[in-house]
Amino acid sequence: MNQRLRKLVQQLGEAIHESVSESTQIASVVADIRRQGFEVLLMLEATIGLNEIEEQPEGAVEPEDASEDQGTFTAQDLNFLKSLRISVSGESAEPEGS
């Protein structure tokens, strides 16, 4: 993995950590648990997989199922974010408890 890519992956990890750290919803639930007399140790593991994108020849047509409203996210990206319970603008959130 080249240095630039390594730095980007590190930045992604830091962004995920910051998102969790600054979440008012997570802080609220942790505070509720502490009020019940328990100390909370929260450890999250994120697996970041990288697949090199093969360049398409000029004039290649995108698959019909590629939608413009997804921006730069692939279906794999959206599934990964959804597994972390991160919603993407324009995507419907999963109902609570699923």
Q: Look at residue 24 in the predicted model and tell me its pLDDT.
A: 92
CA-CA-CA-CA torsion sign (31, 33, 37, 38): negative
Q: How confident is the model at residue 85 (pLDDT cuts 50, 70, 90)?
A: confident
For residue 22, the 8-state DSSP code is: T
Q: How confident is the model at residue 62 (pLDDT cuts 50, 70, 90)?
A: low
- Of 21-35, 44-58, 68-82, 84-98, least confident by mean pLDDT is 84-98
Q: How many CA atoms lie within 13 A of 67 on its CB side?
A: 6
Residue tagged 């990890």 (tokens): 13
Residue, of 16 and 71, whose pLDDT is higher: 16
The two structure tokens encoding residue 19: 């998102």
Q: How confident is the model at residue 67 (pLDDT cuts 50, 70, 90)?
A: very low
